[in-house]
Amino acid sequence: MTSIEPVALTDFLATFWAGAGVIISGAGYALLYAWARLRRQWNLLYLAGFFFLLLTGCVLVLMQTAHLEGHWQALALLMLVGYLLAPPAIFRLCQVTHVHESTNLDVSIHAPPTF
């Protein structure tokens, strides 16, 4: 089993800014994705994709500076894939769940019948 080394003092600032970048870029990706889908402004999806690429870069820097190795790297990459897939899945779930509340939502499949 591999142990995690503490962050070196020379890497502390890079680790700090990479962690902050993960928070900011992750929030930017999720917010821009939702805003683009709600307002049907598809050009915002490109900006959301840029924020996801920024998130990916911050995660890679954080993995390097925090000395994540082995299964910790796999876990970080798995969480990154999950964060890529979560906003579309959550948006779709909200669309299908709340289809009866708004006629503005474009739902390509029908909601399940309610009893």
Render pLDDT for 70-109 as a digit per residue (tens, 0 to 9): 999 999 999 999 999 999 999 889 888 877 766 555 555 4
State the total domains in the chain. Answer: 1
Could you report the per-residue pLDDT of 25-72, keeping only the tens digit for each? 999 999 999 999 989 898 999 999 999 999 999 999 999 999 888 999
> Is 47 inside any structural domain?
yes
Give the pLDDT confidence score for residue 102 in this predicted structure: 61
> Is 104 inside any structural domain?
no
> Is 34 inside any structural domain?
yes
Could you report the per-residue pLDDT of 11-21, keeping only the tens digit for each? 889 999 999 99
- Residue in this structure with the two tokens 């502390």, named with its chain if needed: 12
Q: How many residues does the chain have?
A: 115
The range of the structural domain enclosing residue 57 comes to: 10-97
> Is 109 inside any structural domain?
no
Dist CA 86 CA 77 (whole Å): 14
> Is 4 inside any structural domain?
no
> Is 33 inside any structural domain?
yes
DSSP 4: P
Dist CA 33 CA 21 (whole Å): 18
> Is 51 inside any structural domain?
yes
> Is 106 inside any structural domain?
no
